[in-house]
């Protein structure tokens, strides 16, 4: 659920409540409180201005030579630079996409195609067969990934196009542990894809350690004539909430999703050394935009908004993070004080870092179902499961949400899992 039309910074994420009928009696001066920022975020005013200006002044085709076209191309180039700055990458390694789902699918598509291409070119002989002769490409992921990773991989598995290992996360720390990832590697492994932070528990995955160990393993594999393993992380939930740097992460691919950090619903993909070090194969063919990797006339206003949102994150990320952590901790203190032993904070794993804005908890009680409680709340806009599961019946209302299930959340808690995700301007002065 989203707040209805927030605009000003002080009011971002909240809007006036609108009773469904005259019979409803809302408390005086009540306002909607939006606490589902991991599902989507409202647009920053600066982002709206950048998009509006692009629609008015840069309406031309970016490939055209006249002023409106040149202006559009300038805006796109500036946005690419802002995105690269936000993640510590190079502008030439950024490709614009329609969103996280396309970016994730593009990575999977590319590594599978590259696997077949290099083995068709190299092959083996009767005396010296290839170590992966006859094998399908093998991909490793974890069980709490977003559906835009899990479902494409399940499809490849069903179609016998690839082999996939779904590594469970630890019930002790909620993470996909590097040791388990490395243990799943086979001779035909070509990709490890692990999200940077989970959207429902907020747990931050050990991506830098996984990348470091994969790089070390790749040196051994090269000596044995085995293909290298590429590393991808879906950073959708981490961006805008903590500093993200591809150099520290050591990844080959990184997915960017604009609407998770106050930008528009458009995305991007980082590819380390695009065209030189890391392969990328287009899923679409057309006019040659984005250096033929993602053709189609560029959506200049959306790209302008994404670039502005990235610029704001690069400038203010530390302040955003500190504020969200302060309000999140205050919320959890108030919940514990109010409910005592009846509440369980599901994402507090000892020694595990988590997103500063995410609170996942269960309120225990006989016959208590979180979705029914939320249905009675006229001021709180929150959720129980991932927004992308809202059309999937019980799966979309935390019965149980997959990460809670896979992290070992006991059965009595599964039906009462609530998520509260705070934004960068939510205040603690209100009685939460």
Catalytic residue annotation: 388
By the 8 A CB rule, do 423 and 261 touch?
Answer: no
Question: How far from chain centre, in Å, is Cα 166?
Answer: 18
Q: Report which of 101, 424, 48, 46 is spatially closest to residue 242, judged by C-alpha positions.
A: 424
DSSP string, 351-366: T--B-TTEEEEEE--T
For residue 267, whether the previous peptide bond is cis, meaning omega lies within 30 degrees of 0, is no
- Continuous H helices in 198-284: 207-223, 246-249
Task: Identify the bridge partners of residue 95 per DSSP, sorted by sequence position.
Answer: 269
Backbone torsions φ then ψ of 52, nearest 5 degrees: -65, -45
For residue 12, whether the previous peptide bond is cis, meaning omega lies within 30 degrees of 0, is no
By the 8 A CB rule, do 118 and 227 touch?
Answer: yes
Return the exposure string of 9-20: e unless at least 16 CB atoms fall within 10 Å of the residue's CB, then b: eeebbbbebeee
Is residue 193 within a helix (H) or strand (E), and if so which, with residue range? strand 189-193
């Amino acid at each position: 659920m989203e707040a209805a039309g927030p605009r000003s910074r002080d009011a971002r994420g909240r809007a006036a409540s609108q009773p469904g009928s005259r019979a409803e009696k809302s408390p005086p001066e009540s306002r909607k409180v939006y606490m589902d920022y991991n599902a989507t975020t409202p647009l920053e005013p600066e982002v709206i201005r950048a998009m509006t200006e692009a629609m008015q002044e840069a309406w031309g085709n970016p490939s055209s030579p006249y002023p409106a076209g040149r202006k559009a191309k300038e805006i796109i180039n500036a946005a690419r630079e802002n995105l690269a700055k936000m993640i510590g990458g190079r502008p030439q390694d950024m490709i614009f996409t329609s969103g996280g789902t396309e970016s994730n699918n593009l990575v999977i598509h590319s590594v599978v195609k590259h696997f077949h291409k290099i083995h068709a070119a190299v092959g083996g002989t009767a005396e010296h067969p290839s170590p992966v002769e006859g094998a399908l490409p093998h991909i490793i992921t974890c069980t709490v990934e977003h559906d835009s990773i899990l479902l494409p991989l399940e499809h490849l598995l069903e179609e016998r196009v690839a082999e996939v290992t779904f590594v469970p996360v630890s019930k002790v720390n909620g993470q996909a542990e590097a040791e388990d990832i490395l243990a799943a590697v086979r001779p035909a492994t070509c990709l490890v894809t692990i999200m940077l932070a989970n959207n429902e528990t907020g747990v931050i995955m050990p991506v830098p350690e996984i990348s470091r160990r994969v790089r070390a393993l790749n040196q051994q594999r090269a000596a044995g004539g085995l293909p290298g393993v590429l590393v991808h992380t879906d950073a959708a939930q981490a961006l805008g909430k903590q500093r993200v740097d591809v150099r520290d992460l050591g990844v080959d691919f990184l997915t960017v999703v604009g609407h998770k950090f106050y930008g528009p619903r458009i995305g991007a993909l980082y590819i380390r050394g695009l065209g030189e070090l890391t392969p990328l194969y287009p899923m679409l063919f057309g006019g040659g935009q984005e250096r033929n990797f993602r053709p189609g006339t560029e959506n200049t206003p959306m790209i302008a908004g994404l670039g502005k949102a990235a610029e704001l994150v690069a400038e203010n990320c530390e302040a955003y993070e500190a504020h969200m952590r302060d309000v999140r901790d205050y919320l959890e203190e108030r919940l514990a004080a109010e409910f005592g032993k009846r509440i369980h904070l599901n994402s507090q794993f000892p020694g595990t870092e988590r997103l500063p804005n995410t609170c996942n908890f269960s309120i225990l009680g006989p016959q208590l179902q979180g979705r029914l409680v939320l249905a009675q709340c006229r001021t709180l806009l929150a959720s129980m499961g991932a927004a992308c599961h809202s059309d999937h019946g019980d799966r979309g209302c935390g019965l149980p949400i997959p990460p809670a299930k896979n992290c070992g959340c006991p059965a009595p808690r599964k039906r009462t899992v609530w998520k509260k995700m705070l934004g960068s301007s939510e205040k603690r002065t209100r009685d939460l």
